[in-house]
Amino acid sequence: MNSSEYRRERYRLLGKSILRNFIRRGMEAVYCDTADEAKNFVLSLIPEGSSVGWGGSQTISETGILDAVKDGPYRKIDRDTAQSREERFQIMRECFNADYFLMSTNAFTKDGELVNIDGNGNRVAALSFGPRHVIVVAGMNKLADTVPDALRKIRSTSAPENCIRLGLKTPCTVSGICGDCHSADCICCQEVITRHSKEKGRICVILVGETLGM
């Protein structure tokens, strides 16, 4: 085997143990070796005609899930179709009534907790309450040992990279380092730890044995 195959096998072994911890916390959990396998599994969960919304996610795009949903037989709740800021926020609110909400997570722990830092808060709000089903797709690169480790990982890596991607004016887009800022463009406004799903099985976590997202 080459180095990528060793890594994939390690991811597979890790994933199997972590799935049990998500299930213990009231979530459904599945491991997929590849992004394509994850895409096909997600599509198998969503019946035709279902209303589907999503949060901003590089992972959902990179796996091909977003394009497949946009091209599929679903009722799309797509904020990118908005003609104004007000309409965009109205569409984001409509996601709270969606049959399915698609997202990734900024990080997850070995013990089966989802850790997210959000700007507007629509993504973490939908994760917490509203949509009938929430599907979370995450590459194994999002793994952290503990919640504090996950928060440090997000602030030091994911948040600065996302700010750079979005062209925001924050200290981290200048230095590459989190400035713990309160700027107008700050995307680190909400910190949400999902440690248990009150409604059993409402959240389905799909771990993918690849590097995905930020």
Helix (H), strand (E), coil (C) string for 29-83: EEEECCHHHHHHHHHHHCCCCCEEEECCCHHHHHCCHHHHHHHCCCEEECHHHCC
pLDDT (0 to 100) of residue 186: 95
Distance CA 192, CA 136 (A): 14
Nearest to 27 by CA among 176, 205, 208: 205
Distance CA 167, CA 24 (A): 39
Give the model's confidence band at 8: pLDDT under 50 very low, under 70 low, under 90 confident, else very high: confident
Give the model's confidence band at 49: pLDDT under 50 very low, under 70 low, under 90 confident, else very high: very high
Distance CA 42, CA 46 (A): 7
> How confident is the model over 103-120, as a mean pLDDT?
96
Distance CA 18, CA 8 (A): 15
Q: Which helix (H) or strand (E) holds 152?
A: helix 147-153
Domain assignments of the chain as residue spans, ordered by start:
3-208
84: amino acid identity, one letter = S
Name the DSSP class of 84. S
State the residue for tokens 């990118």.
80
Decide if pLDDT at 6 tops 90: no
Decide if pLDDT at 3 tops 80: no
Decide if pLDDT at 132 tops 90: yes
Average pLDDT, the chain: 95
Give the model's confidence band at 214: pLDDT under 50 very low, under 70 low, under 90 confident, else very high: confident
The answer to whether the beta carbons of residues 59 and 211 sit under 8 Å apart is no
Output 87 or 5, whichever has higher pLDDT: 87
Residue 190 has phi, psi (to 5 degrees) of -125, 135
81-101 pLDDT, tens digit per residue, is: 999 999 999 999 999 999 999
> In CATH, what is the architecture of 3-208?
3-Layer(aba) Sandwich (3.40)
